[in-house]
A and B are shown apart, each in its own frame.
Chain A
Amino acid sequence: MTPLSHYLIFSALLFSIGLSGAIMRRNVLVVLMCLELMLTGANVALVAFSRAQGLEGVPVYDAQVLALFVMAIAAAEVAVGLALIVAMFRARRGVESTSLTSLKD
């Protein structure tokens, strides 16, 4: 059986890739995808923990339910986020996050 730490390392890698993408990329579309990546990383950790905490092959379902929740919310988030990006593209002809400074100026 694969030890828990492998899953966790995988999940941390996914999360870090997502985070660095979210921080470094300017394109909001890519940032959104990176956010999904981070959520996925968290989900992997949740599922891994649910297996590891389970007794005699029966996982703890609480964590899996939480993972399902996250997926549902992520879907909703993508819908809203994409809508926002489309609106932004229409208004500004670009989806660069650095151009979002109208509140500051």
Chain B
Amino acid sequence: MMQNLPWLFLVLPLAAAAVDWLLLARSPRAAAGVSIASALVTLALCIAYLCGMQTGAPAAYAWFPAQGFDLNLGLLMDALSMKMMLVVTGIGALVHIFSLGYMKGDPSNLSRYFAGLSIFMFSMSCIVLADSLVLTFIGWEMVGFSSYLLIGHWYHKDAAADAAKKAFITNRVGDFGFLIGILLTLGIFGSLHYADMAGHMKVAAGSPVLTAAMLCLFCGAVGKSAQFPLHVWLPDAMEGPTPVSALIHAATMVAAGVYMLVRLQVSMGLDAFTDTACCVIAGIGAITALLSALMAAQQDDIKRVLAYSTLSQLGYMIMAVGLLAGEAAMFHLYTHAWFKALLFLAAGAIIVRCHHEQYIWNMGGLRKKMPLTVLCFLSGTCALVAVPGFSGFFSKESILEAAWERSLPLFILGIIVAAFTTFYMVRLCLVAFCGKARTHEAEQAHEPGFTMLAPLFVLAILSIISGYGFVADQLVPYAEFHAESAEWSATLFAGLGALIVGGGLAWLIYGRPASLAAKSDPLGANRFSRVLRQRLYIDAFYDRVLVGGVQYWFSCLVSCVDDGIIRRLIGQGLGLLTAWAGHLLGRIQDGSLRGYTMMTALGVLILMLILIILF
């Protein structure tokens, strides 16, 4: 009985979601209580396991037994998964509590909101604890669903409903590749269980089918972790409530792609990742990091800046995976989870106190109105831009070091991205927090309540200390992790240089008094800025050309051909054939009695002749 305790990680949130949805649909406070309780219990359970509680291996669930090939679902409880669970349940619990304050007074159905959060906790736990690609895929689809549900929480807003749909469909495109990858993996390794993969590869290392399989699996990560060219859904997903953005679209779900790839590296072995596959993975990661850092530099919506920043940091992680530095990728995933959740929650507190204002050029002067929140936000910012001493500094250093060792072009790209990161974060802080309040709403802003501040403090502390060895060695989701102390090396100098250049540039442009009073970006008229504001026209290309053009016209054409040719040819054709045969045979039946008799007689005669001839 005790050995099946880990199943509570899945059962509790699922049960909470079911109770919220089916029984507590009309009592939002009770629903919130149930969800928070389930999140806290799973967190406590996770901490207990990390502190050394042993209950033995949980039994697998015979999900769909078929003679010969059973689909079993089981849990894998190793350092990688349990420490990742801590990130998920930890941030999950904080976000649940924060939501209480954030959603207070919201007219929408809060039971649905908390049920969505619980379903998300369930699905994310599926991905993290999965012992086979089957359960991973189940979780993969379910996080997509919960993300759909929560982005579209305010479904009466067209933008939110469209964003939810876009997120789901874009993810499905990635899943198309992911499923092919899963099936190829089944062929190559003969099993979908992570434990049975190592050493069972049936093809030679470096064979094209292995590359194909890895790239297909990577497709899944491209969709879920919003890498170029499927990154378009993540910025739109900011239409959802801000705690959701913090939990799903910054800290945990979007990192699932990275987690999945690292899990594969650990279980398949590094030689399963062929050179070509690694090149593509690292390249896509670097391109995403660069493009989204560029786009983030000219966004005017506080959540969109953070969203593009998330994309860019995910690009870093994917790049590290491609460089076969899974350790660095997971380190950055872990620090990023804390500080990005912090940034989003702090942004949420700001948004809610500015009466749902997200446009940064309508804010200003917030450092005096809500100093604690701004302080938290700043500590997250310092971690993100890798100020020495903050957690992000250590993890980014380890990624840059991996790049320095393996590929110079990627290292240079990484440094450029780091400079842009500092640029857009300093820009954001200057515009939103310094100067004077630009609008009446910003003027009235004040510090949020305890349920919102408490999670911020916890996260702020974590985003400062989580990079140091004494914490990181214990908590980074990787077996045998050792944080290295910073040394005076080329990467360190390059990183510091990027920090100074990016920050200085932003200070020069946005720190001027004229900029601090401006109601819109002083660079806004610039042609390059316009291109960045239009998201490099990638979204427009998808909307107009792929969806409005190819998909629309192609489906219309197919539909016309289907109706005009296939239905006519087969449906009408059969009809005409039947009618024609009817007319032809109808002539025989002319109503003349003598004709009938004659035919009967003739028929009898012919039959008799046949009988006589045959016998």
A residues in contact with B593, CB < 8 Å: 97, 100
Q: Tell me if A19 and B601 are in contact (CB < 8 A).
A: yes
B residues in contact with A23, CB < 8 Å: 594, 597-598, 601
Binary contact track A80-100/B, C-beta < 8 Å → 1, others 0: 000000000000000001101
Nearest B residue to A101 by beta-carbon distance? Answer: B591
Does B592 belong to the interface (CB within 8 Å)? Answer: yes
Which parts of A13-64 form the interface with B (CB within 8 Å)? 19, 22-24, 26
Which parts of B103-160 form the interface with A (CB within 8 Å)? none
Nearest CB of chain A from residue B596's CB, rounded to whole Å: 10
Does A6 belong to the interface (CB within 8 Å)? Answer: no
Option from B592, B597, B598 in Cβ contact (under 8 Å) with A101: B592
Residues of A within 8 A of B (CB): 19, 22-24, 26, 97-98, 100-101, 103-105
Which parts of B592-615 form the interface with A (CB within 8 Å)? 592-594, 597-598, 601
Q: Tell me if A98 and B594 are in contact (CB < 8 A).
A: yes
The CA-CA distance from A101 to B598 in the complex, in Å, is 17
Does B590 belong to the interface (CB within 8 Å)? Answer: yes
Nearest B residue to A105 by beta-carbon distance? Answer: B591
Q: Tell me if B591 and A104 are in contact (CB < 8 A).
A: yes
The CA-CA distance from A24 to B594 in the complex, in Å, is 7
B residues in contact with A98, CB < 8 Å: 592, 594
Besides the known contacts A23-B601, A97-B593, 15 further A-B residue pairs in the complex with CB atoms under 8 A apart: A19-B601, A22-B597, A23-B594, A23-B597, A23-B598, A24-B594, A97-B592, A97-B594, A98-B594, A100-B591, A100-B593, A101-B591, A103-B591, A104-B590, A104-B591
Nearest B residue to A102 by beta-carbon distance? Answer: B591
A residues in contact with B598, CB < 8 Å: 23
Nearest B residue to A20 by beta-carbon distance? Answer: B601
The CA-CA distance from A105 to B591 in the complex, in Å, is 9
The CA-CA distance from A104 to B592 in the complex, in Å, is 9
Nearest CB of chain B from residue A88's CB, rounded to whole Å: 12
The CA-CA distance from A100 to B593 in the complex, in Å, is 8
The CA-CA distance from A19 to B605 in the complex, in Å, is 12
Residues of B within 8 A of A (CB): 590-594, 597-598, 601
User: What DSSP secondary structure best describes chain B's contact surface?
Assistant: helix
Nearest B residue to A25 by beta-carbon distance? Answer: B594
| 21 A-B pairs (CB sep. < 8 Å) | A19-B601, A22-B597, A23-B594, A23-B597, A23-B598, A23-B601, A24-B594, A26-B594, A97-B592, A97-B593, A97-B594, A98-B592, A98-B594, A100-B591, A100-B593, A101-B591, A101-B592, A103-B591, A104-B590, A104-B591, A105-B591
Nearest A residue to B605 by beta-carbon distance? Answer: A19
**Which of B590, B591, B594 gathers the greatest number of chain A CB atoms within 10 Å?**
B594
A residues in contact with B594, CB < 8 Å: 23-24, 26, 97-98
Nearest CB of chain A from residue B502's CB, rounded to whole Å: 96
A residues in contact with B601, CB < 8 Å: 19, 23
Nearest CB of chain B from residue A101's CB, rounded to whole Å: 5
The CA-CA distance from A100 to B597 in the complex, in Å, is 14
B residues in contact with A103, CB < 8 Å: 591
The CA-CA distance from A43 to B592 in the complex, in Å, is 28
Nearest CB of chain A from residue B593's CB, rounded to whole Å: 5
B residues in contact with A104, CB < 8 Å: 590-591
The CA-CA distance from A22 to B593 in the complex, in Å, is 10
Nearest A residue to B601 by beta-carbon distance? Answer: A19
B residues in contact with A105, CB < 8 Å: 591
Nearest B residue to A26 by beta-carbon distance? Answer: B594
Nearest CB of chain A from residue B522's CB, rounded to whole Å: 94
B residues in contact with A24, CB < 8 Å: 594
A residues in contact with B590, CB < 8 Å: 104
B residues in contact with A19, CB < 8 Å: 601
The CA-CA distance from A23 to B599 in the complex, in Å, is 10
The CA-CA distance from A41 to B591 in the complex, in Å, is 28
A residues in contact with B592, CB < 8 Å: 97-98, 101
The CA-CA distance from A101 to B601 in the complex, in Å, is 21
By Cβ-Cβ distance, the 4 closest A-B pairs, closest first, are: A104-B591, A23-B598, A101-B591, A97-B593
A residues in contact with B597, CB < 8 Å: 22-23
**Which of A22, A23, A105 gathers the greatest number of chain B CB atoms within 10 Å?**
A23
The CA-CA distance from A101 to B595 in the complex, in Å, is 12
Nearest A residue to B593 by beta-carbon distance? Answer: A97
Nearest CB of chain B from residue A38's CB, rounded to whole Å: 10
B residues in contact with A101, CB < 8 Å: 591-592
A residues in contact with B591, CB < 8 Å: 100-101, 103-105
The CA-CA distance from A43 to B260 in the complex, in Å, is 95
